Amino acid sequence: QITLKESGPTLVKPTQTLTLTCTFSGFSLSTSGVAVGWIRQPPGKALEWLTFIYWNDDKRYSPSLNSRLTIAKDTSKNQVVLTMTNMDPVDTATYYCARRLKTATIYNGFDYWGQGTLVTVSS
């Protein structure tokens, strides 16, 4: 059974750094083609992709947030950590982590999602 769960602070102050952890089970981030990504959703708005990290440590970031985002994995702990600096009230959103599978011959989209964690940015 594949599960993912996000954890981290629910409230951060403007200019602070947000650190979220995605803890997963049922798959390995050392398996070829596997990636874990972060997607966020401001209240009442659409989904926005932020970043993902692949099994081989290949990383991609949203250009609009690139300078503020860092993603890292700890394969031994089955965790992926997202860091977002200089938080602003507009960053208030539910943050989801999700698994992605993509190789030259296999693609499953974001097939498993965490429950999401609401992060509010306010002083």
Q: Which residues of this protein are in contact with other proteins, per CB under 8 A? A: 37, 39, 46-49, 52, 60-64, 96, 98, 100, 102, 104-105, 107-111, 113-116
Of 74 and 111, nearer to other proteins (C-beta) is 111
Q: What is the DSSP letter of 122?
A: -
H-state helical runs in the chain: none
Of 98 and 121, nearer to other proteins (C-beta) is 98
Of 27 and 49, nearer to other proteins (C-beta) is 49
Helix (DSSP H) and strand (DSSP E) numbers for the chain: 0, 11
Q: Is 89 exposed, middle or buried (0-12, 13-18, 19+ CB in 10 A)?
A: exposed
Question: Minimum distance from CB of 76 to other proteins (Å)?
Answer: 26
Question: Minimum distance from CB of 108 to other proteins (Å)?
Answer: 6
Q: What is the spatial distance between Cα 6 and Cα 114, in angstroms, rounded to a whole number?
A: 6
Question: Minimum distance from CB of 13 to other proteins (Å)?
Answer: 27
